[in-house]
Structure 1
Amino acid sequence: MKSGTIWTVLGVLVAIVAAWFLVDALFSLMWFVVKLAVVAVVAVAVFVLLRNALSGSRDE
């Protein structure tokens, strides 16, 4: 094998490993953002429900 071929194969392997970790990190970040959005929506819904429940009991 020529020296250039070995470096090409090593470069391809490094590129694959780097891409694997980058894609994994990207999907983890995307999942975190989606989870954060769902938590925000649920928190707003619970806040509105609690505010309506508590304001209804003050009308007495």
Structure 2
Amino acid sequence: SRQALRLKLSALGGSGRRWWFIDGSPMADTDTQHDFTPTLNKPGRYQLSVLDESGQTARVEFSVVE
């Protein structure tokens, strides 16, 4: 049986609130003290982006395989 993949993500640096996106869709917003913990339910390619209050962005692409 296939299990969901739960991630625990945080961003180093930046300032203030952070907005998290997976494949361009908004997923969560966090303050500097909290992690983003998405659950991915299917294999495939993903793009994770984060934007902070000052306008700085970071992006990573990754794949989930069975």
Bin of the TM-score, shorter chain as denominator length: under 0.3
Higher helix share: 1
Of structures 1 and 2, the one with the larger relative CO (CA 8 A, separation 6+) is 2
Larger Rg: 1
* Larger proportion of strand: 2
Structure 1-normalised TM-score? 0.14
